Structure 1
Amino acid sequence: MTNEPAMSADPFQGERPRHTHFHERQAALNVREAWSAWNGFRFADYYYDPEYEYFCIRNFCGTYDICPMQKYYISGPDAAAMLDRMVTRDIKKLNVNRVTYCVWCTDEGRIVDDGTIFRISEDTYMLTCGSPSVSWLRKSAIGFDDVTITDMTDEIAGLSLQGPTSYSTLKAMGLEGLETLKPFGIMRFPFNGVELMVSRTGFTGDLGYELWIDPSQALAMWDALYAAGKDFGIHPYGETATDMARLEAGFIMPDMELSESLKTIHFEHDQSPFELNLGWLVDFKKPHFNGRRALLEERERGPKWTLVKLDIPGNKVAEGAIMYDTEDCDNEIGYVTSAMWSPSVKANIALAMIKTPALKGDIWAEIYYQKELRYYRKMALCEVKDKPFWMPARTRQTPPEVYS
């Protein structure tokens, strides 16, 4: 006999990613076993093939698990005032059953995170964001006597349904009246004795919805949704296809375009709203908010960097490319954050951070690409685009087109 503790059969017990509320159904469909982790949850990179999944959401509809997304209720008479102090947008303008995109900053005007705020009742808001933010929310609530912060991440199952046949699928599921729901709106429906909240939101730049339900009915909702969508090409899609779709829409992605300011080490390796072309999210007409003074100064002098959309000649993806102001690499002016060959746009596209003064001249990308195990180099003269690469009319069309 010894006093040594028994060895666990699993040396990593307690450290493995948790399963989301939809994992049982997703695991059966993930034939490649292509998993990663997001906020401590097991999360699909892809199920079968990323490009196949991408085409599913561009031509039919697909589901994307958003259970790992952080979800917080901010409630009480002071909820609106507290959020208005924290974020750069005027939250008091947000009506009940509406959603808005927002960012929040440090006092230096650097972005802590971005996310969406749902006004689900007169005094209750739901904030969704990519990274855990409960500590920042609690700090932001200091000085507000009547506000409650509740972490609802495990209490709400979230599933995104995106693509042109998403409305037809939900209509076939029996969600009557959904045709009147406008972008960034919220509707509620009864489902198996609980409430199913549907928002017309998403991260693909296409027609789409997000479904929010009590975890006890998550699998039942999945089954009902897939039964309704069987004639509309419904498939699951993972993070890789999401990244392709959001880049076409010109949306920023954390750890690519956005470095959260509380996580960076090097000075100014984070970003401000103006640097990410999100100045439209900053409302200087409202009273004081975090970072207001610094952002006002930045607006007057102009941002050091500006995120731009680029159309690049040829088909060599500019991933990781360094940008110059001349073809002979005379002066480095920026870097690519995301790049891809767009199947829908049929173009070589990228997002890049460029030194703002350099936007007045030419922008060249130094691209390295591989061909039969050899690396080659080319210089490409880029064209700055003002509009999203992909944003079809159906994204905002109300009522949406019905497929049969």
Structure 2
Amino acid sequence: MTNDIAPDPFAGERLKQSHFHPRQAALNIREAWSSWNGYKFADYYYDAEYEYFCVRNTCGTYDICPMQKYRISGSDAEAMLNRMVTRDISKLKQDRVTYVCWCTDEGRMVDDGTIFRLGEDTFMLTCGSPSIAWLRKSAFGFKDIKIVDQSDDIAALSFQGPTSCEVLKKMGLNGIEQLRPFGIQKFAFKDGEIMVSRTGFTGDLGYELWVEPNLALDMWDSLYAAGEDYGIQPYGEAATNMARLEAGFIMPDMEFSEALKTIHFEHDQTPFELNLGWLVDFNKPHFNGRQALLKEKQHGPEYTLVKLDIDGNKPAEESHLYSDKACEHEIGYVTSAMWSPVVKANIALAMVKTSALKGDIWAEIYYTKELRHNHKVERCRVQDQPFWAPDRAKATPPPTF
């Protein structure tokens, strides 16, 4: 007899494990796994609402190893990125982060993400979907530029919640309380370093920790040891989606369809439709989609993404919107909706015809109660500010919690 083990015929199709997977697997007592960019990824660990309340009341970790990470360097790096994205990257200072989006020549949004300026000629772009092909096309015509996909080579953890700064101080990151929103700071750790950015996707106080994979588990252990008395808890995609909706942040495949993946004409969106016109800088040199976006700015977008406060307590998930209570004149649709525990309100993001924004808005809501299908129509009110934006999210130093 031999002890040879037959090769796995599905080895190339199985999900990769995050650099933090050994610790996360032990805590995922529900075995509630999903996938993101080929990684095994937690939908939730114990209970989505419990994890949401940890983010809002204590602190939690969210694995962003599956996020795409690209290092762009060289003397042409700034010019290349400035041509690709709609925001003026020349204004981004070293050790700062900024939110960006990039478009096709037709002005349709390809994706959104963040750009980190790590040096005079060195940047890191992070985004939710693979973008190496688009980056390489965007680099055409530039001579001194190098693009490296570091997605699998950086371990990254989002650490969010009101006690997050206190935990990092206890972990030994001296001076972390002086880090401003969208700032970057590096700290010695073991035989390497941790890069910390004051960024996140919850609208609350929070940070993102970036480290070499060989230090990932050590960082996790140190963080959880420091956070033991501060309610630290891992959270998954379900809690993230709740928190980002309260903050008014957009999500691909919910608020927008990525242009390169959209088949039907204009079923993708533009920055102006997504209420991201503040990301489009027409004062800088040419960038992808400039002509189309300038035309749209002059004429106005057909639809506009808005935040809605809706009467009642039934989430308006996938609801159609009307200008009249009789639901005869359709004017839009809901993209994301929930009953917000912290805001104590029925909230939603929705695409509404721009011409209808000054009039009445009604949501036709369908819901199930004890196997019975129900229907109601509720009034909606447009809200300009995020549903959740505590002062501590921007305060430097953050208040002790």
TM-score, normalised via structure 2 length? 0.98
**Shift of the alpha carbon at 1:84?**
0.2
For 1:41, the equivalent position in structure 2 comes to: 39
Distance in 2 between residues matched to 1:384 and 1:160, nearest whole Å: 30
**Shift of the alpha carbon at 1:14?**
1.7
Distance in 1 between residues matched to 2:119 and 2:11, nearest whole Å: 40
**1:177 and 2:169 are equivalent in the alignment:** no
Structure 2: state its 5+ residue gaps. none
Structure 1 residue aligned with 2:383, among 357, 382, 385? 385
Distance in 1 between residues matched to 2:76 and 2:10, nearest whole Å: 43
Task: Give 1:109-258 correspondences, 5 Å limit.
Answer: 109-258=107-256
Partner SS, residue 24 of structure 1: helix
Distance in 2 between residues matched to 1:11 and 1:86, nearest whole Å: 40
Distance in 2 between residues matched to 1:342 and 1:294, nearest whole Å: 37
**Shift of the alpha carbon at 1:293?**
0.3
- Residues 154-202 of structure 1 show CA distances to partners (whole Å, capped at 9, x for unaligned) of 1110000000000000000000011111000000011111121000000
For 1:401, the equivalent position in structure 2 comes to: 399
For 2:75, the equivalent position in structure 1 comes to: 77
Partner SS, residue 210 of structure 2: strand
Read off the aligned partner of 1:138 and give its amino acid letter: R
Identical pairs, percent: 72
Partner SS, residue 228 of structure 2: coil
Distance in 2 between residues matched to 1:353 and 1:8, nearest whole Å: 53
Structure 1: state its 5+ residue gaps. 1-5
Distance in 2 between residues matched to 1:197 and 1:14, nearest whole Å: 32
Distance in 1 between residues matched to 2:122 and 2:307, nearest whole Å: 36
- Residues 37-72 of structure 1 show CA distances to partners (whole Å, capped at 9, x for unaligned) of 000000000000000000000000000000000000
- Residues 243-268 of structure 1 show CA distances to partners (whole Å, capped at 9, x for unaligned) of 00000000000110011000000001
For 2:329, the equivalent position in structure 1 comes to: 331
**Shift of the alpha carbon at 1:16?**
1.2
Partner SS, residue 83 of structure 1: helix
- Residues 112-133 of structure 1 show CA distances to partners (whole Å, capped at 9, x for unaligned) of 0000000011110000000000
Partner SS, residue 241 of structure 1: helix
Structure 2 residue aligned with 1:356, among 354, 357, 361? 354
Distance in 2 between residues matched to 1:258 and 1:150, nearest whole Å: 27
For 2:303, the equivalent position in structure 1 comes to: 305
- Residues 253-296 of structure 1 show CA distances to partners (whole Å, capped at 9, x for unaligned) of 01100110000000011000000000000000001000000000
Distance in 2 between residues matched to 1:320 and 1:9, nearest whole Å: 45
Task: Give 1:100-111 correspondences, 5 Å limit.
Answer: 100-111=98-109
Distance in 2 between residues matched to 1:274 and 1:229, nearest whole Å: 41
Distance in 2 between residues matched to 1:384 and 1:233, nearest whole Å: 35
- Residues 136-169 of structure 1 show CA distances to partners (whole Å, capped at 9, x for unaligned) of 0000000110010000011110000000000000
For 1:68, the equivalent position in structure 2 comes to: 66
Task: Give 1:277-292 correspondences, 5 Å limit.
Answer: 277-292=275-290
